[in-house]
Amino acid sequence: MKILIVDDNRDFSATIADVVQAQGWEAEVRNSPEQALSLLQKGAKEIALMLLDIEFGSESSMTGIDVLGRSIREFPNVPVIMISGKGTIEMAVQATKLGAINFIDKSTLTNERLVGVLTAAMDRIKSGTSDEDKRRIMESHGIIGSSQAMMDVADLVLRYGRTDLNVLVLGETGTGKKLVAQALHAVSRRAKHPFVTVDIPNIPRELFQSELFGHMRGSFSGAMENKRGLFHQAHKGTLFMDEIGDMPQELQANLLLPMEQRGVRRLGSVEVEPVDIRFVSATDRNLIEAMADGRFREQLYHRLRECDIYIPALRERKEDIPEIVEYYVGKHNKDMGDNKSVSPGAIDYLQQYTWPGNVRELASTLRVAFQTMSNDELEVADLHRILGRTNTSIPIRTAQQAPSAETQLRSTPTSSNASDDTEASGSDREKIEKVLEKTAGNVSKAAAILGISRETLHTRIKKNGIDVAKFRAV
């Protein structure tokens, strides 16, 4: 196992390397932050542990804390032990919050102590969380799947969860972004404190500051008493800002100072009240494009995304579908006292469907199917009865009739009916826009009026290129 030693003191680095090699481990020495990051970019998988100095000379523009922050974001599977000749409690706290697993003061370092710290760290790495343990941890928060893609998500949840870094959770609607945010909170040091959700699209613009930061009595018409905002409620815990990409551009600046200063000022007050908050945000929007278009502030993006987690769409991990189905079958049978099961043909059918609404749509489909099916075993016909209402291209088939590539191509509109599709798309866009105008951009209310799920409406909004923000009241 290879240990990376990063220190600009060449004599000290050589001494540490000798100790490392004497214990039977390999040593890699780099004398600048830039050299260390270059090595990690080429082969982080070969590094079992990094010993990282905090202070570097004027030849480098980076500090060890800078390297630690980048390593946590870009190479989260490489544990880091910080070392310093001028160690302070503040440095140790900062390094630990960023994700370092230990902090060593050079002035008190002996060979015996170094061997003890390294041995403990390497033993911890060897006995690291197994995939089965990760799967159980994630499942306890309703996140189901054993695919490599989901094991990678679990790795990041456990790695980032131990830090105080702000996390941006990315993924399509219905992939489970809030569940991942809750898992991050549950494995963090803040787990015993509040997890507070801010539903960004549903906060009226005129009440935004009052809802988040609170207000004093008499600060505006209707403010009859002092109020604590959501930032106050999340003190010492996690503030989860859901659908952050939907925040109007003119409101985004309101978050910058409170996030930087870790303090809020209520409307009508001149006093800044300190808050200790870890921020987790989620969006299904492309914030890079939004920044380029001037719809999302770059400063806010960088504050929100100290590190990120991407949750793959269900169509990208179809091997997880049988496990997800088993989970929801068991949940239904326990809750309803039933003995339902799913046929192999139905499992095959579910794995062939594209699931635009992702796991949320699959769970909803199963819930409806279990409560309306005639027999105890779910069959293909039961699923087609439910899914076929919104997707008539799904063929009814048996377990032996999995769709071929040719079948899937036939269900895709060809150029011969392109004009009909364009006309239908235009009609669909007009209908959706009229309802959004009526509901002032409230997607949930619009979905209810249209008689479809919120996820389906989101999919159709994206397909038609509709900007929901323009329908919301200023």
Give the helix/strand (H/E) hosting 5: strand 2-6
What is the structure's pLDDT at 464? 85
User: With contact defined as beta carbons under 8 Å apart, do 383 and 349 qualify?
Assistant: yes
Whole-number average pLDDT of the chain: 84
Going by C-alpha positions, the residue among 474, 473, 450 that lies closest to residue 464 is 450
Sign of CA dihedral 19, 23, 25, 26: positive
Check: CB of residue 383 under 8 Å from CB of residue 329.
no
Q: Please determine, for residue 280, whether its predicted confidence score (pLDDT) is greater than 50.
A: yes
CB proximity list for 250: less than 8 A, separation 6 or greater: none
User: Poorest-confidence range of 252-261, 379-388, 391-400?
Assistant: 391-400
pLDDT digits (tens, 9 = 90+) for 172-212: 999 999 999 999 999 888 999 999 999 999 998 888 988 99
* 447/432 Cα distance (integer angstroms): 9
Written as one letter, the residue type at 176 is G
In the sheet with 80-84, reading across from the earlier edge strand, the strands are 26-30, 2-6, 47-53, 80-84, 102-105
Is the Cβ–Cβ distance between 399 and 435 less than 8 Å? no
Q: What pLDDT is stored for residue 304 in this prediction?
A: 94
Bridging pattern class, strands 272-274 and 263-265: antiparallel
CA-to-CA distance for 436 and 27, rounded, in angstroms? Answer: 61
Q: What is the DSSP letter of 469?
A: G
Split at pLDDT 50, 70, 90, the class of 455 is low
| H or E element that contains 194 | none
Closest C-alpha among 1, 5, 67, 10 to residue 34? 67
Could you read off the pLDDT of 298-339 as tens digits, one per residue? 999 999 998 999 999 999 999 999 999 999 999 999 999 999
Q: Are 111 and 19 in contact (CB under 8 A)?
A: yes
Amino acid at 388: G
- Is residue 402 pLDDT above 80, yes or no? no
Pairing status of strand 167-170 against strand 307-310: parallel
174: amino acid identity, one letter: G
At residue 94 the predicted structure's pLDDT band, cuts being 50, 70 and 90, is: confident
Burial of 157 (0-12, 13-18, 19+ CB in 10 A): buried
Sorted by where each starts, the structural domains of the chain and their CATH numbers stand as 2-126 (3.40.50.2300), 131-312 (3.40.50.300), 315-410 (1.10.8.60), 418-471 (1.10.10)
Q: Is the pLDDT of residue 58 over 50?
A: yes
Residue 102, pLDDT > 90, answer: no
Structure pTM? 0.66
Task: Return the amino acid letter for 109.
Answer: L
Q: Is the pLDDT of residue 278 over 60?
A: yes
pLDDT of residue 298: 93
Q: How far apart are CA 25 and CA 29, in angstroms?
A: 13
Contact indicator for 231, 198 with CB cutoff of 8 Å: no
Tokens 């219905």, located at residue: 174
Q: What is the pLDDT of residue 166?
A: 93
Given a cut of 80, is residue 89 above it in pLDDT?
Answer: no
At 364 the pLDDT is 94
Q: What pLDDT is recorded for position 60?
A: 83
